Structure formats: C-alpha cells, structure tokens
Structure 1
Amino acid sequence: MTATDAPAWPHCGHLDAGERCRGRRVGSYTACLAHLDSAERAAHLASLSPGADLDHRGTPFTQDLLDELLAPLRDPGSGRARVGDASFDEVRFTGDAELEGIDFGGFCSFASAVFGGGLYVREVRAGGDLRLGAAQVAGDVWLDDTEVGGDAWFYETRIKGTLWFCVREVGRSAVFKGMTCGDAYFSGVRVCGVASFGGAAIDGNATFDGAVFEDGADFEKVRVAGRACFDGTHFHRSRACFNGADIGGDIPFAEAHFAAEATFDEATIGGDMSFSGARLEAGIGFRRAVFRRTARIGPLVCPGTVDFSDAVFEAAWTLEAAAREVHFRRTRWASTAALRLRYAVVDLTDAVVEFPVTVVGRPRPFVSPEGEVIAEPGLSDTRVRVTSVKGVDAAHLALADVDLTGCLFVEAVHLDQLRLEGRCVLAPPPDGLRWIRRRTLAEEHHWRATRYGDGWTPAPPGVETHDPAVLAPVYRQLRKALEDGRNEPGAADFYYGEMEMRRHDATASLGERTLLRLYWALSGYGLRATRALAWLVLAMTATVLAMMLWGLPQADLDPVSAGTTDGRRVTLTTRKPTPVNPEGPYTRRLSSARFEKSVRVVVNSVIFRASGQDLTTTGMYVEITARLVEPGLLGLAILAVRSRVKR
C-alpha cells in the first residue's frame, strides 16, 4: 500500500488476502474492530454505553460483528440502540447488512461503503444526516419506517438491486444525483428541503406516488428505463424540474399538486402523461422535448402557460388541456395529432405539420377516468383563440370551433388546403353604416387602423403591418379552402376581402383599380344584393322619368294609308308619322297614361326585350341604355343572392 492509498485516519494495516486493512483503529489499540482479538474486542465493547459515537471507517464488517457492536448500545427497556454520530465510511460488508431499531443522535454515514449483499434499514431514526454517497450495494437497499432529521445523501450510489426509500420524512435535502439502481420506490416520502435526482439512472420503474417535496424537486437529466409514477405527488414552493430527463414509459401525474412551475425542457418521454385531477398553480413547459411513443397527454388543467415550443412528437398523439395559453412555436409533428383545448390562446408560429393535426375548441369540461367532471379553477369561460399560424404549412392543419379574430395568417403556406370546421370566428369590421358586415382577417384590421384609426384593431407591439398587396393572396387562398369545403357563403366574405385588398393595392394599375372601384360601387363585387337592387331601382326610376319627359311622343301615332286606283287595281301605302317630341310644361307630361307606357318600356328593358312602344329619338337611346344597364344590375343582384345561399 503506497502513501497515496493510505486513508486519512489511523488505520489497522492488518494484512488480509494480500491487502492491508484500511479499518480505523479502535481506541488505543493498533487494530480495527474486525481484527481485535476476542479479549480486546470484549474490553472495547464493554466500554461502550447507549449514546456513544461510533467511528469504524474502512472496517470490514459482517452482520454478526455489527450486532455485537450494537448490543451494548441498546436500551434494555425499549430494545432500541442509541448512537451519537456513526462513521462507517468505506466499510466493506460481507453479505446482507441489517440496521434495525436504532436511534442516531447525530449523523450516520456509509459513504463509499461496499456491501456484498443488500442493505436493510428498519425503524431507524437519524437526528442528523444519513449518508450513502458513492456506496456500492450488490443487492437491494430497503429503508423502511425510517426518519432522517438532516440530509439524505445518496450521491453516486450504485445499487444493483431495488431501492425502497420508504422514509417517512427527510428533515432537510435528499440528494440522489448520479445514483444508479434497478427499480426505485419513494412512495409517501416527505422531503422538507430540496430533492435532487439530477443524473440518476433507474434501470426499471420509479414510483413517487404520494411523495411530498416541500422545497421543489430536481429530476434534471434523470433516466428511468420504465415507468415513472407521480400520482398524488406534491411539489411545494419551488418548481419541479424534469429538464433533460429520459423516461422510457408512462409518467402519470394523477391528483398531483404543482405549487410552482413544472418544466420538462429537452426531456425525452416514451409514454403517456396523465394529469387527471392534477392541480397546477403555474405553467408547465415542454420546450425542445421529444415524445417518442406518447399517445396521450391530459386531461391537463393549467391556469398558466403550457409551452410545447420546439418539441418533437414522433408518434400519433392526443392532447387534452384547459389552459390560459398553449404555445406550439416551431413544434414538429411527425405523426397525426389531435389537440382538444379549452379556454387557451394558441400560438402555432412556424410549427412543422407533417401529418394531419387538428386543433379543436372543446365546449364541454373534461372528465376523469371515473366519469367525474374535472374542475377548472382560475380559467375564464372564453373560446379557444388561435393567434398565429405564421410559417405553418397548412396542408395538414385543421381548425375547428376556434376564435380566429386575432390570428395571423401572413407567411403561412398552402392556406388553400387549410380546413376550417365548425364555427370559426373571425373579426368583424367596426360598427357603423360605412363598413359592410363581413369576416375579416386580423392583418386587414392592422392595415386599416393605420388609415382610418378608431374602430379598427391596431397591430400589437412587435407585429408587422402588411400592405394590401400581401393580404390579397391570403384572402384568395382562404377563399379557395372554403370553396373546396363546399362552404360558398363563407368563402364569399374572403372573396370580398380579396377584392378590397386588390382595390386598395397601390401597385396595381389605375385601370384595374378603377374597374374594381366601379364593381364595388355597383354591387359590392357581386356580393351585395341590396346595393345592386338599389342601383336597379334607381336606374328604372330614372328611365321612367326620362321616358315620361322626353322619350314618349306628344301623341299616339296612328298609321296613315294613301293609295291610287286605275279602275281595276288599288295600291295602298301605309306610313307611320314621325314621332313628335313632347311639348308643354313638364308637369303636364307626368300623367298616369304616360307613366303606364314608361313602366312598360322599363320592365321590358330589364328582361332585355323591346317594348314595341313608339318612342322619340331620345327615348330610343334611353331604351337602348336601359336594355344594356338594367339587366346587368339585375344579374348582379341575383348573383349576390346566389352566393349567399349556395351550398
């Protein structure tokens, strides 16, 4: 043994199987407890009394030797051993080790100890720390009906079997960083300080049901090969951190309580996550998380934000969540997904949708597996609002029963394949006679707010305002999406918006904008029947007046016949006199007889027929104009009505 291998305490040095013993010397003796002769050991043990400190670092132990050591420390009345501080660092224990019915007034340390079998701790009370840091256990570790007044140290402990941490309470922190074991059970444990499992590796299942972490829990980069159960777990005061965790199976959180934020950033989840009956008082984050075989998350009730930004879903997946906000920024779906949401403000900016993804606003509360309605405290009764699909390839996206009044569509692609199902609400124009009632995009509101001010919603801070040239193609693609879905009346509003943006497009030619302005004024782009009918009535009224005042001749024209006879043959020629323009005061021309004739002319003109009425030259031109204009106005009115009732 070299100097660098020598322990920090006076050691035995007994040569055993070619190695020198590192056990600490006992009292004034030159050997450790294991290598004392029988007389020396008996003398040493006789000097011990209940409450004594023990320091046997590096000593090789068996269960018999341990029982022999604890025998003089036991109270004859209770049978429990009373120990002060106990140092068993680097001990080597042959076979199983059992500690039962012991009260440690101070700490109990097995740091770097090696156990050839299992470690079984029953009905033990430690007033200070319980330390097994860097210990190696060939079997199971079972802590049953045990209390720790200080810290529980399992830092880098190596357990080949199962860890049963059935400790009632840990007075301060519990540290399991870098620990490895098979299965792990922490059911019902109460940790008054921070519980740290960072970097721990559990090769089987992990169970934390009913555990209470008073000052938060750190599961950063923990690895659980199987299922990790947190049913009924309570995370108080500080956040619950699962960042970078790798869970191979399901992670149920039924009836769990999160008093602060919970984060699963960059975690890898291999199974379902159930939050039935869980109570979250803050947000929960899954940023950059990877869901491998997750089929379902929820029902999740969160009064804060649920953040799936940059997350990746590799399997078909269903989310059921009632939350204030749900973020899917840059989220990637490599399989189908159904997002059933309540109340939430949903952000899909730059999401990657490779397979059909449906966002549904759910009107009814979620129910537990037992059929009970799940309470939704802290959430107001509002519709699900989608705020952005910017940067999304909408070919596989479907939105159903959601509020789109503030949704940003610019920069999305394949909007013509977007499916809008159920009742999807878009923003209306401001109230007033000036604006036609229709469904408009939030981006149009932003642009018009810069021109018309009050009534139109301005762009929120950080949101770019787009010109009509940018908005027209967006309206066009959405119109086609509704037309392909056989929703012609709904598509009419998007057509109106498209034409409005084209009419206001400063990059279009003056002739095109003039034609569009005329089309808008006459019939609202063929969509406003009342406007076209109003123009038709106005045109017919003007035609009737023009006919009464100038179009009808002064008097009816009777044919005049003249002829010659040569005694045997008669030749007659019938001529119609030239119409005489009406004369006299205008009031005399507005007679009922002339009105009836004028109406006949107008009615025939509307249906593109000649009336056969004798007319003056002015009347002929008026009739020609009426036969060109009025049927067109009637057709626009019919087109507008058809566009609103067609299915």
Structure 2
Amino acid sequence: MANCAQCSNEAVVGERCLPHHIEGCPTDDVGRPVLAELDLSGRRLDDVQLDNLVITGDLNCAGTTFRGPLRVRDVDVGGFVDFNHAQMQAYVSIQGLTAGGPFRMRDAVLERDVYLSRVACTGVATLARSTLAGSVEIDGWRAHSLDLRRTTFQHRALLQLGDVTRVYLLRAGFQRGVRLTFAGPTRFDLQEVDLGGPSAITAAAPTVEAWRMQDRPILGRTLGTDLSQVRLSYVDLSECSFAGAHHLDKLTVEDWHGWRTSPRGLWVTHRVTLADEHRVRGHARWALPGPAGREAPSLDSVQADYHALRSMMQDRKDQRAASDFYYGEMEMRRIGLRRSVRSGLQARNWRAAFSAMGEWLLLCLYWLLSGYGQRAWRAFTTLAVVVAVAAGALDRWGFQTPTAYDDALRYALRAASTLLRGSDVALTPTGDWIELVLRLVAPLLLALGLLAIRERVRR
C-alpha cells in the first residue's frame, strides 16, 4: 500500500491519509471541512477519527476493518451511512451523527465496547444480524425505525431511544439482559427474543414524570419469548398479545394503567382485560381500534394467559388486578363451554353437548349471581330480589291466615338469616316450600357477597 504524500501514514483517500485528506478540503461558514463523499469501504484502518465534518454525499465503510478505535463526532452526512459487514476490533464511539439517508450496520462484528449517541437518520437504522461483544450503550437515536433483528448483544445493553416509530427485535439476543427505554410511543414486539439476564423495558423519565400516557411505548406481542426476567414499566399493553409467551406468570408489570379495559355496558363488568379477549369475542362492541390485522388466538390460550397473569399479580399481593384477571379467566372458560355446546348440538354429538351444558349452566349462574365471586353488588342485589319475591309469594300463598306484605317481608328476612330455625307461623304446604328454598338460597347468596367483598379488600 502507498504512503501518504505528506506523511509516512498509509494513504487512504487518493495519495493522502485520512487526516490530511480532510485537512485539504474546503470549509463551510463555521469552519467545518466539507467533503463531497467519503469512501473507506474494504480497507484496513488503524485509527479513524471523524470530528466536526460535513459530508454532502455518502459515508461508505462497508466491509472495512477497523483495527484501532473508531471515533465519530458531530458529523453531518447528506446521504447514507454504511457499515455493513464491517469488523471493528477496538472501541467504537459515534456521537452526533446525522444522515440524510439510512444508517446501515448490518452483519457487522464489534469486538469491544460501543457507544452510539445522538444518531439521527432518515428511514431505517439497522444493526440486523450484527454481533456486539462488548458493553453497548445507545442513547438518543432518532429514525423512522430501528432494525435489531437477529442482532446479538453478548454483554449487557443499555438502549435509550428517542424519536423512533418502530423497533424490530425478532430473534434478537440479549445474553446478559437489556434496559430498553423509549422517549415516545414506539411500537415493538418481543418475538422469539433471547433475554438471558434481568431486563427492563420502560418509558423515559420525562414521560413518567409528566404522566404523558400517549407517549408510552406500545408492546405488540411476546410470542416465543421467556418473560421470567422482564420488568415492564409504563408500557402500553392495550394491544399486546401474550399468546405463545413463556413463563408469563413470572413477568413483572409495574404500571396498572397499561392494560385495556372492557367496554361499558349494563351486562359488561368494567375490568382490566387482555387485547386477545377482545379478539376472540369478535363482537363489534369489543372491537379494538385501528385496522384488524392480527389473528385471534384460541380461547384456551387466552384463558391460560389470564391464569398466568393472575398468579403473577397474586405473588405481588395485588388482589385488585388478580380479581380482574380471574374474572377474565372465568369468562373465557364460560364462552368456551358455550361454543362447545353449540358445536356439539350442530354436529349432533348429544353426549358431548349435554356434558358441557351442565358446567356451562353452572358457570352462567355463578356469573349472573356474583360475577364469579368478584362482584358483591350482584349477590346482594339478587338476595334482595329473592327476599322481596319470597315475601310476595308468602303473602299470597304462604300463610294460613291473611297477612300484610310488611309482615311477610319481615318473616322472609328472618327466614333468610338462618338455616336451622324452625317456622313460628302456621304456613300452607306452598309456604313451607317457599321457606325451605329461601333458607337454602339466601345464605348462599350472602356468602357469595361476603366472599366478593373479601376478595376486593384483601391485600
């Protein structure tokens, strides 16, 4: 290789080394060297430092081997930045790089520590299929999307993203965990992501402090990812599908307000729900906002997700959330039994249909009377209706001598308050049956109401 015409260093651009080439370029109004383009592709370089430059064209370092440190600071590039297939054997520091095109570092190998700060580009910034062996800190990135598919981080990574619309993490590997912070409503999926250490995904501190709920990151799906070491804080889970996730019961969710809720209605209990429940129900009332592109999982899958999340909340002693997830679990079970009954009747499989029908009717009563033991007002309202109806029936058919409704109501209340006390009023045979039913049903409804109160106030 030829040496620089001005020094003994290796010539990189034409007959000059990189520093002398930059030194010989014209400058702009603030004294920054202006290069038409910089092509370092395929070379082997010992020490590269680009500081306070303007490159009107492209910065091409594809296939370059950096044997020494790479330092880039306050560089404006008019076109793309390309580090594809580059091999960086020493420390890499890129601070304040602005590109008019995409930023590409695909299939690169970075053997030492990496610091990438204030990188902004138009279009996609990609580190796909790259291997980063040292510690990684990415701070303040701005791009339309960030592609980290099949990227391997062998050391713990710190990723603090700025204005990024979407992050692709398919089969990314964080072998010692990651702390991923979003400054805006970035959409991302944890699809077959390898999280080998404790990991935290959170909104940026200013978003949390200002309570800007619209700027929380949005998690889409967790298919094939082990969530046992993941902590989600101020992440929007209103569209998230947990189908196919591993160890969902070990997930930690710190923000109660990230979940979706059920639609308001007379027969719909307001509660926290999973987006997948809205998908499997299929009713317009339960439809999710935006385009419907995701396939609904099975009812059994959603029921299992509710069960796992209920276990997670119970471990955290958050009984309110656990109660809502239990309600959702039972709803999925009831809807599944109803569909089993319907399919059995349509297929004329009478044994299967009637076998599921008994359990379905029992669950329907449990839901109607007490909201699966979670809604005290239903049990107490039903108890009041039962006592009022029983008093009217006793007034009309129950007593051997005519009695006013007020007296019948007091008698029904006394009968509803005990199982064993005998009747102190002469009743007709019909009255005996009414009293017997009341003595059996009323304590059951009272117990369901007290159970629901206990579930709500327990901590």
Same fold per superposition (TM over 0.5): yes
Give, in angstroms, the shift of residue 263 of structure 1. 1.4
Pairing 1:524–2:371 present: yes
Distance 1:644 1:250, change over 3 A: farther
Distance 1:380 1:625, change over 3 A: closer
| Contact 1:400 1:424 survives alignment (8 Å) | no
Pairing 1:140–2:9 present: yes
Give, in angstroms, the shift of residue 620 of structure 1. 3.1
Match of 2:404 among 590, 593, 610: 590
| Contact 1:333 1:355 survives alignment (8 Å) | yes
Q: Distance in 2 between matches of 1:417 and 1:163?
A: 54
With the length of structure 2 as denominator, give the TM-score of the two structures.
Answer: 0.86
Equivalent residue, structure 2, for 1:285 = 126
Give, in angstroms, the shift of residue 381 of structure 1. 5.1
- SS of corresponding position for 1:512: helix
- The Cα offsets for residues 45-69 of structure 1, whole Å up to 9 and x where unpaired, read as xxxxxxxxxxxxxxxxxxxxxxxxx
Equivalent residue, structure 1, for 2:194 = 352
Equivalent residue, structure 2, for 1:315 = 155
Partner AA of 1:324 in structure 2: T
Q: Distance in 2 between matches of 1:153 and 1:170?
A: 17
| Contact 1:440 1:494 survives alignment (8 Å) | yes
Equivalent residue, structure 1, for 2:437 = 625
Q: How many residues align?
A: 433
Distance 1:480 1:141, change over 3 A: same
Equivalent residue, structure 2, for 1:75 = none
- SS of corresponding position for 1:153: coil
Give, in angstroms, the shift of residue 287 of structure 1. 0.9
Distance 1:610 1:290, change over 3 A: same
Equivalent positions of 1:72-83 (< 5 A) are: none
Equivalent residue, structure 2, for 1:120 = 6
Equivalent positions of 1:286-435 (< 5 A) are: 286-300=127-141, 302-322=142-162, 323-343=164-184, 344-364=186-206, 382-435=215-268
- SS of corresponding position for 2:95: coil
- The Cα offsets for residues 556-604 of structure 1, whole Å up to 9 and x where unpaired, read as xxxxxxxxxxxxxxxxxxxxxxxxx235xxxxx3254x24xx4244245
- SS of corresponding position for 1:503: helix
Equivalent residue, structure 1, for 2:353 = none
Q: Distance in 1 between matches of 2:426 and 2:33?
A: 105
Distance 1:381 1:303, change over 3 A: farther
Equivalent positions of 1:179-258 (< 5 A) are: 189-192=33-36, 194-203=37-46, 205-236=47-78, 238-258=79-99
Q: Distance in 2 between matches of 1:233 and 1:220?
A: 18
Give, in angstroms, the shift of residue 611 of structure 1. 6.1
Match of 2:388 among 522, 541, 548: 541
Identity of aligned residues (%): 24
Distance 1:279 1:483, change over 3 A: same
Partner AA of 1:120 in structure 2: Q
Give, in angstroms, the shift of residue 248 of structure 1. 3.2
Distance 1:365 1:483, change over 3 A: closer
Distance 1:258 1:381, change over 3 A: farther
Distance 1:219 1:312, change over 3 A: same
Pairing 1:499–2:330 present: yes
Give, in angstroms, the shift of residue 312 of structure 1. 0.9
Q: Distance in 1 between matches of 2:379 and 2:91?
A: 63
Equivalent residue, structure 2, for 1:475 = 306
| Contact 1:387 1:407 survives alignment (8 Å) | yes
Distance 1:188 1:222, change over 3 A: farther
| Contact 2:387 2:412 survives alignment (8 Å) | no
| Contact 2:55 2:76 survives alignment (8 Å) | yes
Partner AA of 1:339 in structure 2: L
Partner AA of 2:89 in structure 1: G
Distance 1:530 1:591, change over 3 A: closer
Q: Distance in 2 between matches of 1:631 and 1:523?
A: 13
Structure with larger RCO (C-alpha < 8 A, sep 6+): 2
Partner AA of 1:350 in structure 2: E
Q: Distance in 2 between matches of 1:607 and 1:221?
A: 86
Partner AA of 2:322 in structure 1: A
With the length of structure 1 as denominator, give the TM-score of the two structures.
Answer: 0.62
Give, in angstroms, the shift of residue 643 of structure 1. 2.1
| Contact 1:165 1:189 survives alignment (8 Å) | no
Distance 1:310 1:424, change over 3 A: farther
Q: Distance in 2 between matches of 1:635 and 1:629?
A: 10
Distance 1:380 1:307, change over 3 A: farther
**Which one has the bigger helix percentage?**
2
Give, in angstroms, the shift of residue 475 of structure 1. 1.4
Equivalent residue, structure 1, for 2:14 = 153
Partner AA of 1:529 in structure 2: A
Q: Distance in 1 between matches of 2:62 and 2:157?
A: 24
Distance 1:164 1:404, change over 3 A: same
Equivalent residue, structure 2, for 1:41 = none
Distance 1:461 1:290, change over 3 A: farther
- The Cα offsets for residues 58-114 of structure 1, whole Å up to 9 and x where unpaired, read as xxxxxxxxxxxxxxxxxxxxxxxxxxxxxxxxxxxxxxxxxxxxxxxxxxxxxx75x
Give, in angstroms, the shift of residue 541 of structure 1. 1.0
Distance 1:381 1:461, change over 3 A: closer
Partner AA of 2:357 in structure 1: L
Equivalent residue, structure 1, for 2:23 = 167
- SS of corresponding position for 2:85: coil
Match of 1:263 among 92, 101, 104: 104
Match of 2:446 among 622, 634, 640: 634
Q: CA RMSD in A?
A: 2.9
Give, in angstroms, the shift of residue 434 of structure 1. 3.7
- SS of corresponding position for 1:232: strand
Q: Distance in 2 between matches of 1:249 and 1:294?
A: 12
Give, in angstroms, the shift of residue 430 of structure 1. 2.8
Give runs of ≥4 in structure 1 deviating > 4 Å: 458-462
